[in-house]
Amino acid sequence: MIKAKVLLDRDFDIGAVDDRLFGAFIEHLGRCVYEGIYEPGHPTADKQGFRQDVMALVRELGPTIMRYPGGNFVSGYNWEEGVGPVEDRPVRLDLAWFSKEPNLFGTNEFIDWCRMAGIEPMLAVNLGTRDGDAARNMLEYCNFPGGTAWSDLRRKHGWEKPHGVKFWCLGNEMDGPWQMESKTADEYGRRAYEAAKMMRWIDPSIELAACGSSARSMATYGQWEQTVLEHTFDQVEYISLHTYLNNYAGDTAAFLACPDLMDTFIEEVVAIADSVAAKRRSSKRIMLSFDEWNVWYRTRRDRATRVKEGWPVAPPILEEIYTMEDALAFGGACISLLNHADRVKTACLAQLVNVIAPIMTEKGGAAWRQTIFWPFAQMSRFGRGHALRAKVDSPTYDATYYDPRGKQDNYYPIAAAPYLKLSAIADRGTKGLNLMMLNRHLTEPLSVEVMARGFSGKSVVAAMTLHDKDLQAVNSAAAPDRVAPRKLGRISLDGERIKLTLPPASWSVVSLA
């Protein structure tokens, strides 16, 4: 058994966790929309074709904000073709995923779906094949009350009241050569600035996110953020970050350490954003929108494969089946986000259903939770409050993370990764303390002693652990609960002192209220 000590204090605060940290993402990609959230004719579908079995799982998962409609897809999307009478909507080739897009589901259906789910919509505009003109028209269609051509068109389509969408993404991954009409940082920065300016003139209450790098491993990373923010600083509130964790190397210890690189990534982007502010002697702080994050590596596809497969509608692509070890790395990412609550204000798990997703469905059949469903649902439930600065004294290990998608050196050393990765939340509702903990030791239980100053007189109201001896265990339609949280035993409370033992290779949550 290895041992760790934690010291925290109710008054040592990182920052308030924004509810938008628990976001997710729906892209027109594979079976995320079609056969995912939308399947007319499914036994549980309502009159709009929204699958209610999926809706129930989404409510349980607890996302707060939903990004739409892409992703790579948005860079070729004509939003006008996804509104109005369905029979008039064209079928288009989607060059992002080499699929056909039937446009049966579009912006208005998405807004209705979000309202039904109690989720805030986040829309992305196309700054790939299109520009500020299409973006400002879309905003006018969505948010302007009426009396203009675009807003009256929305009313004619059946949505009398404006959608009031607050959060808008200015394109997607515009630095990536795989993107339709990718750009240099200067080209994108200028275009994003002009689009943002017009959008804000129409609706000054909106919040805007500029595209950061599509990965920390991009050759242009750093310079891209700097240049884009130099153009857009006065017109945006956020810069985006994207990360997909992988275990290509089959090195589980390194895989579980790699969320620490997310910490580095966040801190680097904060430094760049603040350097742009410093040059302007500005007190404005650009916040971070981590609007794509997850584990993803088994189902990545090259363009040649996609071309060979033709142009299907809603093909079963990127249907990553998540293992127990994926859930652990994923849990580490949850902790990284929470521990940067002062600057990361929005984050979106990519994606929601079927496509690299916590929820899987069968056409006409069942829906079930993947392993990664659990850390997300628990983060959303127990992460509401203030993130506390915890001093973690834990044995550590060194690892080398391999990312073949890197454009420079593919090997990333991670020095002194603590076996215990932890987030402590002062719960807004219960006034208690929630601990989210990852034991990254693959074979040893971890004995943890927490000195929680300012939290005496509490009792344990929830204690759960996600652990399975088989790190390759998965959930499926036949065995949907193979990997699920179980009770975490042996917790002792003595005043402000908490003692507990985490199983090897486990994600655990303890809530005191």
Residues that bind ligand AHR (CB under 6 A): 27, 70-72, 172-173, 214, 292, 350-351
Contact 317, 355 (CB under 8 A): yes
159 CA to centre of own chain: 29
Contact 231, 190 (CB under 8 A): yes
Q: How far is the CB of 96 from ligand AHR (least distance, A)?
A: 7
From 35, 109, 120, 292, active-site residue: 292
Complex with ligand AHR: residue 27 or 325, whichever CB lies closer: 27
Q: How far apart are CA 353 and CA 349, in angstroms?
A: 11
Q: How far is the CB of 18 from ligand AHR (least distance, A)?
A: 22
DSSP codes joined into one string, 424-480: EEEETTTSSEEEEEEE--SS--EEEEEEEET-TT--EEEEEEE--S-TT-B--SSST
Q: How far is the CB of 255 from ligand AHR (least distance, A)?
A: 19
Complex with ligand AHR: residue 178 or 201, whichever CB lies closer: 178
Q: How far is the CB of 27 from ligand AHR (least distance, A)?
A: 5
Q: How far apart are CA 21 and CA 27, in angstroms?
A: 19
Q: How many CB atoms lie within 10 A of CB 472?
A: 10
35 noted as active-site residue: no
Q: How far is the CB of 173 from ligand AHR (least distance, A)?
A: 5
Q: How many CB atoms lie within 10 A of CB 90?
A: 10
Complex with ligand AHR: residue 178 or 411, whichever CB lies closer: 178
Cis peptide before 71 (omega within 30 of 0): yes
Contact 96, 180 (CB under 8 A): yes
Find the helix or strand (DSSP H, E) in which 239 lies.
strand 238-245
268 noted as active-site residue: no
Complex with ligand AHR: residue 214 or 380, whichever CB lies closer: 214
Complex with ligand AHR: residue 144 or 297, whichever CB lies closer: 297
Q: How far is the CB of 362 from ligand AHR (least distance, A)?
A: 22
Residue whose beta carbon is closest to ligand AHR? 71
Q: Is 58 left (phi over 0), alpha (psi -120 to 50) or beta?
A: alpha
CA-closest candidate to residue 402, choices 241, 245, 222: 245
Residues noted as catalytic: 173, 292
